[in-house]
Structures are given as C-alpha cells and as structure tokens.
Amino acid sequence: MSMPFYVSPEQLVKDRADYARKGVARGRPVVVLTYATGICFVSENPSTALHKISEIYDRIAFAAVGKYNEFENLRVAGVRYADLRGYSYDRSDVTARGLANAYAQTLGAVFTQESKPYEVEIVVAELAMDQSADQLYRLSYDGSVAEEHGYVAMGASAEAITTRLSESWRLGLDQSAALSVAITALRGSGEDARDVGVDTIEAAVLDRRRPRRTFRRLGKSEIATALG
C-alpha cells in the first residue's frame, strides 16, 4: 500500500500564495487615488466589454486586477450584499468597511479551503464628505485587508507605479489633475514606459458633487485631455 503524498501546511500556504501572487502580477495595472471632490479610478484595459472598475452602491466603488471571472464573482456578490443590507436596514448602513470585511471572509475561505486560490487583488473605495475622510481598502488574494491613504496601485509594476504616485500626488488635486497624475503613473518613463492610449484606458470617478449616485465613467475626450 503506497503512502499518501504529504505536503507540510507551511509549504502548502507558500505555494498557494506564490501561485496567486504571480497571477495578480500578470494583470494590467489599476490606480485609485483621492482628489479634492472625489476618488479617481484608472486602469489599463483595452476591452470595452469587460470592466475592471464598477459601482457597488451610492458612494462605493470597486476596482480589481487578476482573473476576470473571479473578481466579477466578487463584484456581483458585493452588489448583492450592499442591496440586501441597504434594503433591510438603511442605505447609510452600507459601508466600504463592512464590504471589505465580507470580501476578506470570502477570499480567506477560498484561499484556505479550495483547491485553487483566487488570483485577484481588489480595492473597495468609499466617498466621504471631504477628502480627508475618504476610505480605500485593499484586499489581497488571501483575504488580508490594508487601509490605504491617498492612493493605491495594483497589478503589474505596482511598486514602481506607487513610487511615481508618491512623487506626484498631493491633497487638493482637482479632477483633471488627478486623472493626469494617475495616467502618468501608469505610463511610466524610460525602461518602465508602457504604451497607454485613449483606447486602452478605463477610467471612472466617485464625484462628491453628485447628489447620490456618485459613480460616473469618464469619456474618451476627458481621457484624451489628460493624456495630452
């Protein structure tokens, strides 16, 4: 009788983490940053049908990198969670923190119990009454949650993009300046330069000036102005 193949729990967790991390690193990058009147989301995404940036609720949005079918399942689950909680209690009870906690439980369960972890990384953002109170939560493939401040980058070359954001982002940017900062960080320069154009950018904002449905996708003309 043959002995079953044994893998230590430490090695199993490491292998799963490496597998998921490599999948996320292959994803086209996404940048999320706050500005004076809202939160800006910019992604390198040549597809016009498959969105990486989406609305979840009145003042909450979602951005992701990795395998589309996996993060789309998470997005749909988030919308259902928000709708049910808003209907059962009050719309103000739907928060990015609560949604991030729900996502963390799902991602953690998949990472530890399923045969393959999700190859995703997501950001849940909530618009507050002023920029200093805006909330950005970054969730990794294993369910870990980090609260970010000001800006966050995910996907390929995330570290280099974050460095460029740290050099150019500041409090009080207007919408056009925030969009320009995000696109410039995605494009890079020198050896890190990426071929980013109007047709390969997906962009949206949570706009504090709108009454309730604050999410709005940006058109090609606004993106072209920022690229110019």
Q: What is the pLDDT of residue 10?
A: 86
Are 146 and 138 a contacting pair, CB within 8 Å?
Answer: yes
Matching residue, tokens 């589309």: 68
Report DSSP state, residue 2: P
How far apart are alpha carbons 121 and 10 in whole angstroms?
A: 22
Are 30 and 155 a contacting pair, CB within 8 Å?
Answer: yes
Q: What is the pLDDT of residue 217?
A: 96
Secondary-structure percent of the chain, ordered helix, strand, coil, rounded to 5: 45, 25, 30
Count of CA atoms in the C-beta half-sphere (13 A) of 218: 29
Contact partners, residue 144, CB within 8 Å, separation at least 6: 104
pTM: predicted TM-score of the whole model, two decimal places: 0.93
Cα 88 to the center of its chain, rounded Å? 27
DSSP E strands: which ranges in the chain?
30-35, 38-44, 53-57, 60-66, 120-126, 135-139, 145-148, 151-154, 201-207, 215-217
Q: What is the pLDDT of residue 5?
A: 66
Written as tens digits, the pLDDT of the chain (228 aa) is: 565 667 788 888 899 999 999 999 999 999 999 999 999 999 999 888 899 999 999 999 999 999 999 999 999 999 999 999 999 999 999 999 999 999 999 999 999 999 899 999 999 999 999 999 999 999 999 999 999 999 999 998 899 999 999 999 999 999 999 999 999 999 887 777 778 888 999 999 999 998 888 999 999 999 998 887
Go through the domains of the chain in sequence order and give each one's CATH number: 25-227 (3.60.20.10)
How far apart are alpha carbons 91 and 10 in whole angstroms?
A: 42
How far apart are alpha carbons 131 and 188 in whole angstroms?
A: 26
Matching residue, tokens 């044994």: 6
